Structure 1
Amino acid sequence: MIRKALIPDARAIQKLLMDYSRDGLMLPRSLSEIYENIRDFYVFAEQGTVLGTVCLSICWEDLAEVRSLAVAESASGRGIGRSLVEICLEEARALGLRRVFALTYKPGFFAKIGFREIEKSELPHKIWGDCLKCAKFPDCDEIAVCIDL
């Protein structure tokens, strides 16, 4: 079941994100940062266990980012990631956003949902925000993808 994240989900969200950040696949997020942004998160929970998470972060009047997409390894391949991205796209449409992007190492995953590859230079607000915190900046090897709504 996908639902908006609740305060008690914060530690489970952080654990999922840390599993990916240890492998260098995403930036880590502090527990404090997760609490501050909990309203932006969705979770996929099954029998009270959080198996997946995603965050829709609004960047500008017409632009949002799908970020912090993580699915527990034990639940991989079940379509949870796709469902989480799709719920973000539904919310983005409801908010009147025209474009959603992601930075990813798996552009093929996003392509199946309708995203296309773009140059990072098309995302100036993003590049000078979170990217400055990344150890890989300015030599980012993630691929920018976006979808027009």
Structure 2
Amino acid sequence: MAIIRKARMEDAEGIHSIIKDSTKNAMVLPRSRSSIYNHLRDFFVAEAQDGQIVGCCALSITWDCLAEVRSLVVTPESRGANLGGRMVEACVQEARDLGVREVFVLTNIEDFFNKQGFVATDKNILPQKVWADCINCPLFPDCDEIPMIMKL
């Protein structure tokens, strides 16, 4: 059984590796090592009993009382154990602790996030996200991700 915990310095390479592997399947956007180190405090990790990082997820503060769950990855061999759900729960709890009122995600796995309590919304209510990150994405403006939001 893996544990969910805040990321530490020694986790950065493991986070980078599993995100890089997931970008091959277009499951998440790539993140540079520099970006991971710069945002390490945003990350939660799933750590297997052998110490390997088998999942990660980040909570990124976007704007006043608005945060994003991003970079959710679980290695293929660790899927099915609710690690993704537990990491999203950890992010949502941290958002509550910080006084965030809404958490959003852009995703291709709508059913998973529906089960976590998110509902589909219009991307136009997220202009901070669109102009901060989406504008630099190679898929912009033809993104197929679904914006979803959870009110806390």
TM-score, with length taken from structure 1: 0.98
The reply on whether 1:94 has 2:58 as its aligned counterpart is no
Structure 2 CA distance for aligned equivalents of residues 122 and 57 of structure 1? 17
Identity of aligned residues (%): 46
Q: Deviations over 1:9-45 (max 9, x none)?
A: 1111011111111112221000011001101101010
Aligned to 1:25: 27
In the alignment, is residue 74 of structure 1 matched against residue 59 of structure 2? no
Residue 18 of structure 1 aligns to which amino acid in structure 2? K
Q: Structure 2 matches for 1:39-54, cutoff 5 A?
A: 39-46=41-48, 47-54=50-57
Shift of 1:69: 0.2
Q: Output the CA distance in 2 between the equivalents of 1:95 and 1:45.
A: 24
Show the counterpart of 1:13: 15
Question: Which amino acid is the alignment partner of residue 122 of structure 2?
Answer: E
Q: 1-side partners of 2:29 and 2:79: how far apart? A: 20
The runs of 4+ residues in structure 1 deviating greater than 4 Å are none
Residue 113 of structure 1 corresponds to which residue in structure 2?
116
Segments of structure 2 that go 5 or more residues without pairing to the other structure are: none
Amino acid at match of 2:56: T
Deviations 1:51-98 (A, max 9, x none): 110000000111000000000000001100000000000000000000
- Of the three residues 115, 127, 139, the one matched with 1:124 is 127
Q: Do structure 1's residue 146 and structure 2's residue 152 form an aligned pair? A: no
- Name the SS for the 1:128 alignment partner: helix
Q: Which runs of 5+ in 1 are unaligned?
A: none
TM score, norm. by length of structure 2: 0.96
> Within 2, Cα distance between the matches of 1:6 and 1:144?
29
CA distance in 2, matches of 1:102, 1:117: 9
For residues 4 and 80 of structure 2, the distance between their equivalents in structure 1, rounded to whole angstroms, comes to 16
Aligned Cα root-mean-square deviation (Å): 0.7
Q: How many residues align?
A: 149
- C-alpha separation between the residues in 2 aligned to 1:112 and 1:72? 20
Aligned to 1:104: 107
